[in-house]
Amino acid sequence: MRARDGIFWTAGAAAALAAAAWSARRSARRLPAPPGAPRLVVVGGGFAGLAAARALAGRPVQVVIVDRRNHHLFQPLLYQVATAALSPGDIAAPIRHVLRSQRNAEVILGDVAQVDLPARLLQLEDGSRVPYDLLIVATGATHSYFGHVEWAPLAPGLKTLEDALEIRRRIFTAYERAERERDPEVRRALLTFVVVGAGPTGVELAGALAEIARYTLASDFRHISPESARVVLLEAAPRVLPAYPQRLSAAARSQLERLGVEVRTGAQVTGIDGGGVDVGGERIPSRTVLWGAGVAASPLARTLGVPLDRSGRVEVRPDLSVPGHPEVFVAGDLARLVQDGAAVPGLAPAAIQEGRHAARNALRRARGRRTLRFRYRDRGTLATIGRAAAVGRVRGVELTGLPAWLAWLGVHIAFLIGFRNRVAVLLEWAWSYATFNRGARLITETAEQRRFADELRGPPPPDAPGPVTGAEARG
């Protein structure tokens, strides 16, 4: 046998073995749980919960995933739905469809109201109960208004598709109302957009708002100049993206200001109402205020009766289990674990790693084996600001501008669930980059939302001029 033939034979054999291994793994995913297998319930279908469920494919365990919504949401791109760059279906996938081939998994659509640890039961809002042998809680986080719950309806945050659609409605309704508004002061308030909080969500929202004003809507209106819209980003900390290194924070601020965003650091918001925002003694008139300043853990954590931190997160053990209840694990934004002197960050990669690790440890617990410590592997963070503008740190290398933006694109495409979503998002981004267009500029408004908007505006003063009508505009 010639050496070349031997090489080809070896390569072919390796390829055949790899194909057989892949086929075996795929077949294993389709195996149902054996009779008497332990029942492992996962609460939450986000990054951590879905990663946990998928990690148990083909394992001798009955997996039940419970979520109040029927879809997994790719939250890092939620701001692009809020700013009309993507449609909701581009970043969401039905949980049942994702797990359709995993025969040992089932899905329950329900809202968990309470966890009964002694009885090993989940109490759902509709009164039904879900028993478990092992439990992974991964219900994530919600908005935090730092004790000012009255600000919530005035300054929506961004955690769900409903939040994104409401923000999109407010943004584009503001331009429509400004087009017909005669009073210059009211028009300026309508065209002033305030974003509270300069973390990744706030920075991304502010950059997208500036691009909408200066590019997307520049030629769409006849009585206003969208380019004159004012975008104000408020941050109480001394710099934007405070969790990022100083150099990246400075680069992010510079890129935001080049887009026309008015960045204010050390700006503590003291009041929000229907007419604007108070920052200390200064008043910023605005009819659209968006919140990106803080998060709090899901309230379900309080029903566990275990130690929580100031944000309501569960203080988990090194193996991600709950103190005193080794059969219960917590993963994702709901868990607080200190590693190397700092808490594991509330990011999608960390949640995915925690979900997989919790699943492995739950399986080890079911088999009577010792669980393993969790170790977060930080592969970097990225935040986009606008067209070819971003900052990030990938494997210790700091990136800014176009390289960071390209890295951000690649990472987010790779992490999206489903081939269809990856293709759809890639095509939308290519079209938007080439044309500056945002194709999902739809205003959807319910009667309740219209009533609330009317209450915020209040009755017009007796001598106020009416809105510009179509006939007046033509005449």
Distance CA 298, CA 332 (A): 11
Placement of tokens 């410590």 in the chain? 373
304 touches 115 (CB < 8 A): yes
Long-range contacts at 377-384 (CB < 8 A, ≥ 24 apart): 377/353, 378/345, 379/349, 381/200, 381/243, 381/244, 381/345, 381/347, 382/407, 382/408, 382/411, 383/200, 383/203, 383/204, 383/241, 383/244, 383/252, 383/408, 384/204, 384/207, 384/408
Residue carrying structure tokens 């700006």? 267
* Short-list 20, 93, 19, 103, CA closest to 54: 103
Is residue 150 annotated as part of the catalytic site, yes or no?
no
Instruction: Kindly report each contact of residues 436-439 with a partner whose C-beta sits within 8 Å and lies 24 or more positions away, as own/partner.
Output: 436/211, 436/215, 436/216, 437/216, 438/83, 438/84, 438/85, 438/212, 438/216, 439/84, 439/87
Cα dihedral sign, 51-55-57-63: negative
CA dist., res. 170 & res. 168, Å (int)? 5
Exactly one of 166, 204, 235, 428 is catalytic; name it.
Answer: 204
The span from the CA of 28 to the CA of 103, in Å, is 9
Catalytic residues: 204
